[in-house]
Amino acid sequence: MAEARNEALTMTRKYYLIAMFLLAAALVATVVAYPQLPDYVPTHWNIRNQVNGYSPKWALFLFGPGLMTFMIAIFVGLPWLSPKQFEVDGFRATSLYIMVIVVSLIAYLHGVVLWAALGHRVNVGRAVVGGVSLLFCLLGNVMGKVRRNFYIGVRTPWTLANDRVWDATHRFAGKAFVAAGVTGLALTVIGVDGWLPLAPLVVGPIASVVYSLVFYKQLERRGEL
């Protein structure tokens, strides 16, 4: 028992160390780049990769390190925030893995924005879609390990109402997210721009929500709830 607790503690520390390293790297990169940045930097692009939004350069600390700090703090508080029978402790390793990949995505996107703000040419739209597509692939690989809770996963009225619906939906969502991520990533790599690479990233989650409703209603009709 003590050995299991020590192993869990070691795992927890490892994930938090990775997250803190990413946070520190984003903070250092921003501090180093700050003197070279113009007073206002591009922070929003349209679907044609044209800049349509600027922010004061100090806002980069909020969009990058600030958002990463907030995300880490949320995951730190999840065990305390979770009500009984919906605890995240039952899949703590998976939840911390998800924390790391989400923080990694924020760090990556911050790096893209910082690079563009320094005057380098970059297709921000393609970079963002590629990063989010990879996130979907990584999330899909662990979706089946997520247990019923209020914060992580496909949280619909039907999944939250029944463990069987939750488990079946997340097995389906795992496949749907990986398929969506691979498709989006492939379209990005071959140079497709616009809405097309985004389509699978929208379809995957929607399909998972619809699946949860359909499966719940099937169980309801059969009297198996």
DSSP the chain: -HHHHHHHHHHHHHHHHHHHHHHHHHHHHHHHHGGGS-SEEEEEE-TTS-EEEEEETTHHHIIIIIHHHHHHHHHHHHHHHSPTTS-SGGGHHHHHHHHHHHHHHHHHHHHHHHHHHTT----HHHHHHHHHHHHHHHHHHHGGGPPS-SSSS---HHHHH-HHHHHHHHHHHHHHHHHHHHHHHHHHHTT--SSGGGHHHHHHHHHHHHHHHHHHHHHHHHT--
Let me know how long the chain is: 225
CA distance 23 to 66: 9
pLDDT attached to residue 215: 97
- pTM, to two decimals: 0.91
Residue 152 amino acid letter? I
Confidence class for position 2, pLDDT limits 50, 70, 90:
low
Mean pLDDT of the 7-14 span: 79
Residue spans per domain, the chain? 1-122, 123-225
Give tens-digit pLDDT for 201-217: 999 999 999 999 999 99
pLDDT attached to residue 1: 60
CA distance 163 to 112: 40
CA dihedral 22, 27, 31, 33 (to 10 degrees): 50
CA distance 149 to 94: 13
Residue 181 amino acid letter? G
Q: Which of 11-15, 28-32, 110-114, 197-201 has the lowest mean pLDDT?
A: 11-15
CA distance 199 to 71: 26
pLDDT attached to residue 149: 94
